[in-house]
Structure 1
Amino acid sequence: MRTGLKIISILQIIAGLFVAGAGALTAALFASGDTSVGSTVEMVALSVVLFVLEGALAIISGALGLRAARDPEKSMLAVIWGGLTLAISVFSLVTEGVQQIVSCIIPLLYFIFAMNVRRSRK
């Protein structure tokens, strides 16, 4: 389970960097005058904030997962952050449709591995 948590944590960090990068790219495109990214400043700003927030949560949870994989005694925060990222992914799934199901797989696996590492410390 520790190896699984390490792998999923690294994937969380990579995914978080991509998501945060997408938010930065959206902001840059809008700032350059590209109207294809959104029709209003408010919608683009909300989109950028959500992208960056989701990316930051994934990066933080990935780092906490790596820490928990090294030391199962420190796994409680990984479980909490794993549940948080899973809840956000499920919310996205419900609001955006079934095509987002893939976005739930990594957080789900992360949460399962973090819970198992937490249980193994006993």
Structure 2
Amino acid sequence: MVPTERALDLVMQVLSRRTFDYSDEKRCQVEIAEHFESLSLNVEREHNFGTGIGVCDFFFPQSGIVVETKAYKSWSKKQVYRQCERYCKQPSVTGLILATGKAQGLPAFIHGKPVRVYQLGRSALQ
């Protein structure tokens, strides 16, 4: 398994260890941040990639993994894809996880970088 895919799988496992309130996106982001902090993970919250690119919710600088959170909020799937695409164009990004409370598919790769979708309701069902 390639290091980036391994890192993506590890972050997916970390997310699956806790249930998050995804009825409110900001609250969900706070809960995810607290979870990452409780595990002493090296992660930057609200990492700014610069003008025209945007601010991702979480960035793991050592592995280059982005975690973008989309909970129950009015947004279009096309907008979410474009946002993920902007992040994946960045040289410092090696992979991306979309953590979502809504059904949303993404291709396995965006700009050659592996992508995963984590369903926030999944851990509540386990």
TM superposition score normalised by structure 2: 0.28
TM superposition score normalised by structure 1: 0.28
State the structure with more CA Rg. Answer: 1
Please state which structure has a larger fraction of its residues in strand. 2
Please state which structure has a larger fraction of its residues in helix. 1
